[in-house]
Amino acid sequence: MSKIRSFSFLFILFSTACFARPTSYTELLDYVQEAPDQGDTNTCLFVASTGAMELIANKENGIKNPKPFGAFDLSESFVINAPDTETKSFIETPVLRFNNGFGIHIKNWPYEAWRGSEANTSVWVRHPNYQNLPKVILPEIETIKLFQFGNRWSTYVLNEEHVEQIKEALWKYKSPVIINYNDEDYWHIILIIGYDDNIPGECYDTDPKECEGSIGSFYVRDSFGVKVELRDYDWFKVKGNTAAVVKAKNNSLKE
């Protein structure tokens, strides 16, 4: 092999090694705002949308391990009631409502899913002083739809390539992925915020026999008071059907 060909081969090999996706990505876990419990309010889409915006705002401002009522602990009821800025898929449109340029802090518009043992449906009601509430200024965001198959209740429509697509998106954009999956015959929306190919996770709402493939898990933020938990890749492959990246608009890509 000539010196030139040898050098070219080594350069390609070095470049590939430098930019290969790692076996785990957990950076976003440092910026996750703890999720409230949505209870029986059917607001998972808005809890996930708010969580994505909180994570991005914390990351953009270097706020690690955010505390409850911290700078970017936002009201879920705000995004329920805010006007649309653009219309995209059903999992993307609500989070883009933050592109009005602001949110409302949770202390100024509390989101409380329970009144005693009853669901608090008032979380859907527009605040009487909506126009005059103090605003939390937020970075502009955008979404990148990764895939959507079947309908919101569909199962068994994904494969290993879609699992890899989620991992690649997390690593490439350094941003959360909002997903829809079937949770005990209800469509349910949460955030995937990291992955690890070497850690087994829960085979959530899935027959254990369907989670006997290769070891590996996603880190997820659910809307039932869950900050971070591990779920087996096969859980998503069996139960998932839709995914989109939510990212800061000025977020540079890792080429």
13 belongs to a structural domain = no
For residue 21, pLDDT beyond 60: yes
Residue 184 has a pLDDT of: 85
Please report whether residue 34 resides in a domain: yes
pLDDT digits (tens, 9 = 90+) for 213-231: 778 999 999 988 778 999 9
Whether residue 3 is contained in a domain is answered as no
Instruction: Give the range of the structural domain holding residue 183, as residue numbers without chain letter.
Output: 24-248
Number of Cβ atoms within 10 Å of the Cβ of 141: 21
Q: How many domains does the chain have?
A: 1
Q: What is the CATH number of the domain that holds 167?
A: 3.90.70.10
Q: Cα separation of 61 and 38, whole Å? A: 27
Of 203, 160, 152, nearest to 181 (Cα)? Answer: 152
What is the reported pLDDT for 2?
52
| Residues 161-215: tens digit of each pLDDT | 999 999 999 999 999 999 999 988 899 999 999 999 999 888 888 888 888 877 8
114 in any annotated domain: yes
What is the band of 17 on the pLDDT scale with cuts at 50, 70, 90? very low
Residue 150 has pLDDT above 60, yes or no: yes
Averaged pLDDT of the chain: 90
Q: For residue 11, is it within any domain? A: no
By the 8 A CB rule, do 206 and 65 touch?
no
Cα–Cα distances in angstroms (integers) from residue 72 to residues 111, 159, 170, in the given order: 14, 36, 22
Residue 232 maps to a domain: yes
168 domain residue, yes or no: yes
Q: Within a domain: residue 18?
A: no
